[in-house]
Chain A
Amino acid sequence: MLEIGLSHYLIVSAFVFCAGIAVMTLKRNAVGILIGAELVLNAANLNFIACGRYRVGGLDGQIAAAFVIVLAAAEAAIALAIFLSFYNSHATIDVDHGDALKG
């Protein structure tokens, strides 16, 4: 319990992952769903780095996490551009209103 090992980090990241899933299902605001996706990606990153530190060794886990961070930034930029476009045409970012393919 006092000796920090891999399983501590895995438990924390499992909790954050589940919180992210809950946020994505519970929020109706599109930005809230983006926040949930960021939580899930952070949980995955924590797993990458913890496994790289305690089990795999070397820097492979850190490099995978770096790529995940880049992809998360790209995803956030595109998602917010889509939200702004959606808000301009629908005057809301309630995702329940986004049920038409043609804006």
Chain B
Amino acid sequence: MSLETVVFYIFGGLMVVSSLAIVVSRSIVRSAVWLLGTLVSAGVLYFLLSANFLGAIQLIVYAGGILILIVFGVMLTAKSPYVRFNARPREIAITALVGVILFAGLSGLMLATDWPAIPDAAPEREVRPVADIGRSLLTQYLIPFELVSVLLLAVMIGAAYLASPEKK
């Protein structure tokens, strides 16, 4: 049993367990903590898939940034008078049914599909993710890159506008 297999089963299992725990936990703070487990194990799986750069970005942006943002959102909105976040039994039953059917369908489809292989997989040349991603972001993917930068500017302005208190 290789190291890759062991690491995959540990962190894939952690990802599955913590995403299931997000579903079943009642308190939103616990959901946020379990989200940390999902995000970190997704980052480890990226490292396992030899996507070093994406793994680092996942840990920094998701586990460091988005999760903090979500915890802030939870803290700032915690004192809600009508806290009635428990789902009714009927809703739980419907959700469980839909989830199980969806998972069975998706995984059955994925296992049944004959994914085409890489034309020449074996002579995989030396991939240096950071340098190559940077180069292709500024050559092949230049237009999406610029669009994303404009989007980030719009998001910054929009978030500041939406959160400003004296907007009428």
Interface residues of A, Cβ cutoff 8 Å to B: 2-4, 6-12, 14-23, 25-32, 34-36, 38-39, 42, 45-46, 49-59, 62-63, 65-67, 69-74, 76-78, 80-85, 87-88, 91-94, 97
Q: Chain B residues near A78 (CB, 8 Å)?
A: 155, 158-159, 162
Report the minimum CB–CB distance from B104 to chain A (whole Å): 9
B146 at interface, CB cutoff 8 A: no
Near A by CB (< 8 A), chain B positions 51-100 give 51, 53-54, 57-58, 61-62, 65-66, 69-70, 72-74, 76-77, 80-82, 84-85, 87, 91-92, 94-96, 98-100
The verdict on A23 contacting B22 (CB below 8 Å), with A17-B106, A62-B133 known, is: yes
Report the minimum CB–CB distance from A69 to chain B (whole Å): 6
Interface residues of B, Cβ cutoff 8 Å to A: 1-2, 4-5, 8, 12, 15-16, 19-20, 22-23, 28, 31-32, 35, 38-39, 42, 45-46, 48-51, 53-54, 57-58, 61-62, 65-66, 69-70, 72-74, 76-77, 80-82, 84-85, 87, 91-92, 94-96, 98-100, 102-103, 106-107, 110-111, 115-118, 121, 124, 127, 129, 132-133, 136-137, 141, 144, 148, 151-152, 155-156, 158-160, 162-163, 165, 167
B118 lies within 8 A of A11 (CB): no
Q: Chain B residues near A28 (CB, 8 Å)?
A: 84-85, 87
Residue in A2, A3, A9, A62 with the greatest tally of chain B CB atoms within 10 Å? A62
Q: Chain A residues near B82 (CB, 8 Å)?
A: 92, 94, 97
Report how far A53 CA is from B12 CA in the complex, Å: 17
A49 lies within 8 A of B51 (CB): yes
Report how far A23 CA is from B34 CA in the complex, Å: 12
